[in-house]
Amino acid sequence: MQAGDTRLGAYWMPFTANRDFKRAPRVIREARGHHYVADDGRQIYDLVAGLWTSGLGHCHPHIVAAIKDQLDVLDYAMAFQMGHEKAFVLAEQLVGLAPDGFTHCFFTNSGSEAVDSALKIALGYHRARGEAGRTRLIGRERGYHGVNFGGLSVGGMSPNRNAFSACLIPGVDHLRATGDLDHTAFSRGQPEWGAHLADDLQRIAALHDASNIAAVIVEPVAGSTGVLPPPVGYLERLREICDRHGILLIFDEVITAFGRLGKPFAADYFGVTPDIITTAKGLTNGVIPMGAVLVRDHVHAAFMQGPAHLIELFHGYTYSGHPVAAAAGIATLEVYRQEGTFEAAAELAQSFEDLLHSFVGHPLVIDVRNQGLMGAIELASRADTPGARGLEAHKRCFWEEDLVIRNGADTLMFSPFLNSSAGDWEIAFDGVRRVLDTLE
């Protein structure tokens, strides 16, 4: 498809500068392994693994086969007052993979829905325990928790919030962001500075009275804002403050779960256990939309009161635990186990870090950040057009270097495949460097 193709007109693309895109559309027609095939036939190396989604590679044959087999047997089953086997099997496997104490799983269709579900579960938990006054929610500046109104409200990315600010839910506060170029620039992994920022939660608790706070939600590593690893000790301090005041701690692991940090969950990687985990993306390797909320036993148990015939949580989706999505999820977890994906990703992390930090000293680069197989290169913005330099880098990587990278304004983000080759990365980042070397 080329500029002027009438088929380009109807689709209003998400998180895209539509007019700019349709002047020179970047269209994908196929994918296999670590590459896309562009509409013009070029092989394009994917340095973002879909959108933090497809860590095992595109069109993994085991997952594709599982989906095809499922479609021959059961396409859809109502999730209300009925069930099908694969949803129960996948839920059992997920809580088995989760940190100790997680016992139940609630299925959604996306990370955005998982976040809103988690917020509702947190509010319902306190109400069920006789603390209905705990309604205040705490997010974080620069946090991304999807695009539904709950996630927007606790999220802290200004462009996502601005147009909808009048309709965001009330009773929400935000911790300060952990990124600070004056103190954390060019850190390798977790910065040493910034654990004290967790004390914002204590300040907010004192302001509102902690007995009014239901939950705090953070990404263990903030992803879409440009990869902000947590300062050393930061997550531990959040956990401590939550325990002190009876506040639920929610980890949004839509990006960080399933090997992105070389462990099943970021909670395992950092050794900090929340009360609730949200996830999606890598749950099905990005093949079929699916999300999940995992809860510890005390959260679930609070709802299991009253007559057994009554619905405990008035919440759900038409496609919760969809049979085809559940089949994809089971197959994805099988591949993670069979191929030793998490261990392989952990072994690759140092090579990835070294390649990213080879950009330190480049005249356009003002920061490099990484954690596991998540990385970002932040570029200096043009004085008159913030964000234009990053978008140009994205487009030129596609057209000139046969690479897909992601840009958020002037920050270039990378989330490579969990089964990557360091040699492929070297070639890909050489292409990124050539683009930056000629970028104005």
The domain ranges of the chain are 6-56+341-437, 65-338
**120 touches 317 (CB < 8 A):** no
Q: Is the pLDDT assigned to residue 264 strictly greater than 90?
A: yes
Specify the CATH architecture of the domain 6-56+341-437: Alpha-Beta Complex (3.90)
Please tell me the pTM assigned to this model.
Answer: 0.96
pLDDT digits (tens, 9 = 90+) for 309-329: 999 999 999 999 999 999 999
Q: Is the pLDDT assigned to residue 104 strictly greater than 90?
A: yes
Residue 130, pLDDT score: 97
Give the fold, CATH level 3, of 65-338.
Answer: Aspartate Aminotransferase; domain 2 (3.40.640)
Q: Is the pLDDT assigned to residue 3 strictly greater than 90?
A: no
Contacts of 25 (CB under 8 A, 6+ apart): 1, 2, 3, 5, 8, 39
H or E element in which residue 38 lies: strand 35-38
Q: Is the pLDDT assigned to residue 4 strictly greater than 90?
A: no
Mean pLDDT computed over 153-163:
93
Residue 407, pLDDT score: 97
Q: Where are the beta strands (DSSP E) in 259-410?
A: 276-279, 291-296, 365-371, 374-379, 403-404, 406-408
Mean pLDDT computed over 370-393:
97
Distance CA 258, CA 256 (A): 7
